[in-house]
Amino acid sequence: MNGIVAYGSYLPYFRLDRKAIGDSLGASADKGTRSVASYDEDTTSMAVEAARAALRSAPAARPATLYFATTAPAYLDKTNATAIHAALDLDAGTAAFDMLGSVRSGAGALRAAADAGRPTLVALSDIRTGLPGGADEREGGDGAVAFLLAGDSRDAPTLATLVASASVTTEFLDRWRLPGEPASRQWEERFGEHAYVPLGTAAVAEALKQAGLAATAVTRWVVTGPHGRASRRVAASIGAVKGTIVDDLASSVGNTGAAHAGLLLADALDRAKPDETIAVVSLADGCDVTIWRTTAALAPRSRPATVAVQAAAGVPVSYATALTWRGFLQREPPRRPDPERPAAPPSFRAESWKFAFTGSRCLACGARHVPPQRVCVKCHAMDRMAPERLADVPATIATFTVDRLAYSLSPPVVAAVIDFEGGGRFQCELTDVDPAAVKIGDRVEMTFRRLFTAGGVHNYFWKARPLRSR
């Protein structure tokens, strides 16, 4: 059976203060913040960032399958996992599947990876929206998490072994959304609670039974789901030792939907020591429970971008801006031509460049080229290039500008000429950046983003952001 051999998490840079919602709408204000995906992010781009973090800790891993789960897919009818596959530069022989639409997709993807007989990458990503003033808007959060599940190996030892799993499924109407609608609907809250609590206690009892463990043996309990009240009731009823129910990040991040149980598991793994038992109880249209045992391999891992570090970072975003980014507030566009939609054939030809950020290196003189070239800019050698991926190479700002005229959902556009460590230069947009703070010499790293959507086509590509994650 597969265990977790690598994982990574991604939280967007922006935080919406719930008080700002209350102040704007003249309603009572909740405490805390929620995470907000930037205007240039979607569930696909955030999944890429989380999966990059996971794969960085297991560079030799070659996943055979990629599962992507979200309630907010960027595309329907077209697989989204293929863009993630391309951005991660996975082998062409690696399958890529979407598991879309419901929060439970996240638990399903993790379960499928655990049951798979071969290395499997799971990316769970969500952007949670709701109508202005509603609980979903307030309590939701945006973020992503990725797990690589595989057998134990020297290159990628198992960090956590799956000890047991159990599921209970029942059909009932707690929350739902018709395709195309901007927000979900929910039945009366007390009905959901009535339906969920017995499912949760039954699934937990079954998983503990299979593991041969008492509830008191579990050192960290993750209990979560879109129905907050039901989750809290289940958490209170399973016999957990006091203090072992982990914080659900409600006060800083919010509930990240299909990613949330995984995100809390990643947070638990960030904090766990070897030989701990972690139980994950996901209440979404039923209940899915997994019980994990951490291994000695967890201890020596360096954990630079933990969930906690990312949750504590971030900068405020105004409510009006957050509404604009999610399409709830249509703003006057600049008097500039709309961006051109990326064309399919050139994007297809440029897959390794556009998605994987693969440049080229001249075999004659060693000069790096971004984007890849056929003729060397330095020595003019022709067709003597080897591909070289620069997605994980840091860079330094050579010069920059703040473009207040260019089209953007979130003006101004900040752009820079960046020089990569080890050679190579590129001109690109900066993101997650304060325009007033950019300086020549600042260090940046590449991040996968959705630049814009034009003509119904999402334009995925890379931007640079101030180096903070490593």
Partner 1 sequence: MASNGIRDRVAIVGMGCTAFGERWDQGVNDLLVDAAKDALASAGVELRDVDAFWLGTLYSGQSGLTLSRPLKIDYKPVSRLENYCATGSEAFRNACYAVASGAYDVAMAIGVEKLKDSGISGLPGFTAPGDGTRAGLTAPATFSLLAPAYAKRYGVDDATLKEVMTRIAWKNHKNGALNPRAQFRKEVPKDTIACSPLVAGPLGIFDCSGVSDGSAAAIIVRAEDARRYTDTPLYVKALSFVAGPAAGPMDPDYDYTTFPEVVASATDAYAQAGIKDPRQELAMAEVHDCFTPTELVLMEDLGFASRGTAWKEVLAGTFDLDGELAVNPDGGLKSFGHPIGASGLRMLFEAWLQLRGEAGQRQVASIARGRKLALTHNLGGAPGECVSFVSVVGSERSA
Q: Which of 350, 364, 381, 409 binds partner 1 (CB under 8 A)?
A: 350
Q: Which of 39, 292, 426, 448 binds partner 1 (CB under 8 A)?
A: 426
Q: Is 437 in the site for partner 1 (CB under 8 A)?
A: no
DSSP state of 255: B
Contact 464, 447 (CB under 8 A): yes
* Helix, strand, coil share (%) of the chain residues, nearest 5: 25, 30, 45
For partner 1, the closer of residues 110 and 428 by Cβ is: 428
For partner 1, the closer of residues 312 and 343 by Cβ is: 343
Euclidean distance between CA atoms 293 and 5, whole angstroms: 12
**Shortest distance (Å) from residue 435 CB to partner 1:** 10
Q: Which of 425, 443, 445, 468 binds partner 1 (CB under 8 A)?
A: 425
**Shortest distance (Å) from residue 269 CB to partner 1:** 35
For partner 1, the closer of residues 274 and 371 by Cβ is: 371
**Shortest distance (Å) from residue 418 CB to partner 1:** 9
Q: Is 410 in the site for partner 1 (CB under 8 A)?
A: no
For partner 1, the closer of residues 247 and 434 by Cβ is: 434
Binding-residue pattern over the window 371 to 400 for partner 1, x denoting contact by CB under 8 A = x-x---xx-------------------xxx
Q: Which of 297, 402, 445, 468 binds partner 1 (CB under 8 A)?
A: 402
H-type helices in 70-164, by residue range? 81-87, 104-115, 135-139
Count of CA atoms in the C-beta half-sphere (13 A) of 390: 32
Q: Which stretch binds partner 1 (CB under 8 A): 18-26, 93-101, 211-219, 412-420?
A: 412-420
Q: Is 208 in the site for partner 1 (CB under 8 A)?
A: no
Q: Which stretch binds partner 1 (CB under 8 A): 11-19, 24-32, 143-151, 409-417?
A: 409-417
Q: Which residue has the tokens 């959902």?
A: 409
For partner 1, the closer of residues 220 and 354 by Cβ is: 354
Q: Is 369 in the site for partner 1 (CB under 8 A)?
A: yes
For partner 1, the closer of residues 57 and 347 by Cβ is: 347
**Shortest distance (Å) from residue 65 CB to partner 1:** 27
Q: Is 466 in the site for partner 1 (CB under 8 A)?
A: no
Contact 161, 3 (CB under 8 A): yes
The count of chain residues that interact with partner 1, using the rule CB under 8 A, is 48
For partner 1, the closer of residues 244 and 427 by Cβ is: 427
Euclidean distance between CA atoms 55 and 61, whole angstroms: 7
Q: Which stretch binds partner 1 (CB under 8 A): 106-114, 143-151, 196-204, 401-409?
A: 401-409
Nearest to 50, CA basis, from 100, 81, 7 = 7
Q: Which stretch binds partner 1 (CB under 8 A): 196-204, 278-286, 290-298, 333-341?
A: 333-341
Give how far Cα 26 sits from Cα of 5, 132, 262, Å: 48, 12, 35
DSSP string, 152-188: --SSS--SEEEEEEEEE-----SEE--TT-SS-EE--
H-type helices in 212-318, by residue range? 228-237, 260-271, 307-312
For partner 1, the closer of residues 79 and 453 by Cβ is: 453
Q: Which of 158, 347, 447, 469 binds partner 1 (CB under 8 A)?
A: 347
Q: Is 189 helix (H, G, I), strand (E, B) or coil?
A: helix
Assign residue 285 a region (left: φ > 0; alpha: ψ between -120 and 50; beta: otherwise): left
Q: Which of 205, 403, 409, 443 binds partner 1 (CB under 8 A)?
A: 403
Task: Record the tokens describing residue 19, joined without a space.
Answer: 């008080």
Q: Is 102 in the site for partner 1 (CB under 8 A)?
A: no
- Strand ranges (E), 43-84: 65-70
Exposed e or buried b per residue across 108-142, where buried means at least 16 C-beta atoms within 10 angstroms of its C-beta: bbbbbbbebeebbbbbbbbbbbbebeeebbbbbbb
Q: Is 78 in the site for partner 1 (CB under 8 A)?
A: no
Give how far Cα 76 sits from Cα of 189, 344, 345, Å: 30, 17, 20
* Residues of this chain that bind partner 1 (CB under 8 A): 334-337, 339-343, 345-347, 349-350, 353-354, 369-371, 373, 377-378, 398-407, 413, 415, 417, 419, 423-429, 440, 451, 459-461
